[in-house]
Amino acid sequence: MLDAGFLIRWLTTAAALVEREADRLTELDSPIGDADHGANLRRGFTAVTAALAKEAPATPRAVLQLAGRQLISTVGGASGPLYGTLLRGTGKALGDAAEVSEAEFAAALRAGVEAVMRLGGAAPGDKTMVDALLPAVDALDAGFGAARDAAERGAEATVPLQARKGRASYLGERSVGHQDPGATSAALLIAALADSQEQGEDSTS
């Protein structure tokens, strides 16, 4: 079962991955974006970990609500409202239970991804975070590790695509040949899910 503690660990792990990969994300965002994805997400996730350390919400939903709100408030770029909506949409679908099963979490994360797709209007193949998130939720039935692999493959598969959303879409064919920074950071978020589960198993063994 997954409780508030697990979700706090997930987002804290995600923050550490974002911190480690921030320069790479910004590098990916240089040729096709405005070269601020790493810095924006680092600012957002720093605010998330600070808020979670201060408040320690009691339910999975409350963790996701608080974190989503921080991302919307502090990121300053499109990834803020998009990731904020992912977390809040997931939280909303979880309801107010103190613990949820992995299957319930998987269904809720799918609802969160659908909320992101509604907000940004992106479909699979548009070269966005959706190209990592959707394969991840499709693979979640097979576990968090499978979702991590699927998200990573999904991010890599954005290389040959032409961007149809965001600033990169103005570049037309010149957006081809670059891995999408949003799909890359989305894969980090999913990797953090698997990592935090593995850490949990280590600490209980």
Partner 1 sequence: MSERKLVGIVLVSHSATVAESVADLARGLVGDGTDVPVAAAGGTEDGRFGTSAALITRAAAEVDQGAGVAVLADLGSAVLTVKALLEDDELPHDIRLLDAPFVEGAIAAAVTAATGADLTAVEAAAGEAYAYRKV
Based on the number of CB atoms within 10 Å of its own CB, is 20 exposed (0-12), middle (13-18) or buried (19 or more)?
A: exposed
How many degrees, rounded to 5, is the angle at CA 148 between CA 147 and CA 149? Answer: 90
For 23, how many CA atoms within 13 A lie in the half-sphere containing its CB? 1
57 binds partner 1 (CB under 8 A): no
Question: For the chain, what is the largest distance between any 2 Cα atoms, rounded to a whole number of angstroms?
Answer: 51
77 binds partner 1 (CB under 8 A): yes
Please tell me whether residue 91 binds partner 1 under the rule CB under 8 A. no
Complex with partner 1: residue 33 or 60, whichever CB lies closer: 33
Residue 111 makes contact with partner 1 by CB under 8 A: no
Residue range at the interface with partner 1 (CB under 8 A); choices 78-86, 98-106, 146-154, 172-180: 78-86
d(CA 25, CA 184): 7
Question: Which one of residues 8, 67, 82, 163 is an interface residue with partner 1 (CB under 8 A)?
Answer: 82
Could you say which residues in the range 21-50 bind partner 1, by CB under 8 A?
34, 36, 40
Q: Which of 57, 91, 112, 120 binds partner 1 (CB under 8 A)?
A: 120
Residue nearer to partner 1 on the CB measure, 112 or 197: 112
